Chains A and B, each alone.
Chain A
């Protein structure tokens, strides 16, 4: 039995540019344990949101994450619309889907580049990010912004897509197919990529359900969940597209699912653009107030389901705003996926869920004088479980029974 040592990834890893801390317990090069520590970058978005009025809230959640910068707003405006029974014009729904799918393409390309970088394949990294710029050009054309698009508002979208721009946008989107096909072929043909990713970081369908993993992480393991299909919103119920799944749940399948999803996104965008030619009218219902009530907004972000809950008390700002981003569910699956693999594989396995730490921050209790944490992750879980038990006792409920096939 060899000696155990700890390989730290974080708290400020040179490559995973966000503050997170993975402690790999290793024997030689083999990983035998994993501690995940988050909470280095807590910003108190939910509390902040309660002090903003509904228009500002949308801008605030847009800044939760720079990559999913339209997923959070879409979920948020849907929660507000749900709470206040606000109607949305059909044309706005198509525009929401177009922006959402463009974001999926740029996010998946960003991941693809990073995955290449983690594997030491820097050419893929540079090429993927080079072609991602073309997606950002489309954003700039439609919204005027390359990253934070500021398109969503309760009751519609802020900007219409002009009829004369549609052919240009269509061409720009169609031009993305060539590089995407190239990446598809590279991943499918390169023997070294396959040797490095096939059978690595496998997550079984059962583990996906147990950990409630979401998005491409779940779909790569053959669990066919997609909020766009399961709870149709925006224009996803109005156009024709497929949920991409794969069976093996390894890093390779996660890459394949993401690449094929980009082609589906292009399909959705093209159909939505066609619909914009016939569906006319306003893109904003201009709601004047949000009635008291509760609302839930779901959106399939590039990483999986993002959830927003808003309770309105009839004033112009949310009484409670709750956000749950998909990485929060996906990052913990690393604990299953990484054990038994080498340090060499650990980096790509940790990256395979496309983690986005800024969305997963919850809370950190730190003693400011010593800089030490007052509560550890285990303490937090204990607190959370106690609270749940108390609530259950109070309500007499036993919790929901899930049955996902």
Chain B
């Protein structure tokens, strides 16, 4: 495959444009369902697109005394991480033969990049509220990455492979006890990775008024928002692939619809969690992830070893 095709794939399908559009549509679903749960009307279908496009034409204000390059490159870092993750994930999903050794680990790192970008951006902002948000984000990463990685060991043990293609070929883990436990753990970690309630501490509108993103405006803020919307698409898709058998494009419309429904089910779970809980404190979040959640993932690994 030549580089032009690869570049086109990266920019259009299944890379940036595809992920951005599906991500924004997903964020509309999130906003609309949230609104209905809260007895509100909710935004029109194109509202997420309007938001991003509007931000692209707004003024960019860089706080005086902040490192310009770092401040402006942080959102790009997050966006490219998310795009690359989606690109790799979808290439393998469309053609499992393109899986390479250790692609799971690459994805794991790429999925952390948006959070790292938020930390960099917050410290570049030179704002006390932003640095609080950044330090919370850092603690949160330390808290949720451990159980997340442990939960990912379950499909690796089951499929006896580190290749995503072979994990996909192994199929759904779901009826098994270890698979269910690992999925629950990773859903909780996903909620924290998406920084949604109850783990929205880095942004915490009512405490830090936007936290990490407080100094951002215009296109950089738009890129952060876009990254967040894309992650809302990539992370549930990643979980569907790893734990729930993924989407099979070879199996005709029925199996594609089934894969799509799995994705929607995860989105519904995310939205429900985010609307039925208040925000936790950072110490409570760390205790929660290192205590019960890590415990659950360890049990899941043991169960997987014993073949359940």
Which A residues are within 8 Å of any B CB, using their own CB? 5-7, 13-15, 28-29, 116-127, 130, 190, 192-193, 195-196, 342-347
27 contacts between A and B (CB under 8 A): A7-B132, A14-B205, A14-B209, A15-B205, A117-B206, A118-B206, A118-B207, A120-B204, A121-B197, A121-B279, A122-B34, A122-B38, A123-B276, A125-B38, A127-B38, A130-B39, A190-B278, A192-B198, A193-B278, A195-B280, A196-B278, A196-B281, A342-B282, A343-B208, A344-B204, A344-B279, A347-B206
Inter-chain contact count A-B, CB under 8 Å?
82
Contact A6 B128 (CB under 8 A): yes
**Residue numbers in A under 8 Å from B275 (CB-CB):** 122-123
- Highest count of chain B CB atoms <10 Å: which of A14, A123, A126: A123
| A193-B280 Cα distance, complex, nearest whole Å | 9
Contact A120 B198 (CB under 8 A): yes
| A123-B281 Cα distance, complex, nearest whole Å | 19
**Residue numbers in B under 8 Å from A123 (CB-CB):** 37-38, 275-276
**Residue numbers in A under 8 Å from B69 (CB-CB):** none
Q: Which residue of chain A is the closest to B284 with respect to CB atoms?
A: A195
- Chain B: interface residue count, which band? 20 to 34
Q: Which residue of chain A is the closest to B281 with respect to CB atoms?
A: A344
**Residue numbers in B under 8 Å from A130 (CB-CB):** 39
| A347-B205 Cα distance, complex, nearest whole Å | 11
Chain A proximity of B267: nearest CB distance (Å):
17
Contact B280 A192 (CB under 8 A): yes
Q: A192-B198, A195-B284, A343-B207 are in contact. Are A126 and B39 (CB under 8 A)?
A: yes
**Residue numbers in B under 8 Å from A126 (CB-CB):** 38-40
| A344-B279 Cα distance, complex, nearest whole Å | 9
Q: Does B185 contact A (CB under 8 A)?
A: no
Which B residues are within 8 Å of any A CB, using their own CB? 34, 37-40, 128-129, 132, 135-136, 197-198, 200-201, 204-209, 275-284
| A7-B209 Cα distance, complex, nearest whole Å | 11
**Residue numbers in A under 8 Å from B40 (CB-CB):** 126
| A218-B198 Cα distance, complex, nearest whole Å | 30
**Residue numbers in A under 8 Å from B283 (CB-CB):** 342
**Residue numbers in B under 8 Å from A127 (CB-CB):** 38-39
| A192-B275 Cα distance, complex, nearest whole Å | 13
Contact B206 A15 (CB under 8 A): yes
Q: A7-B129, A347-B206 are in contact. Are A119 and B279 (CB under 8 A)?
A: yes
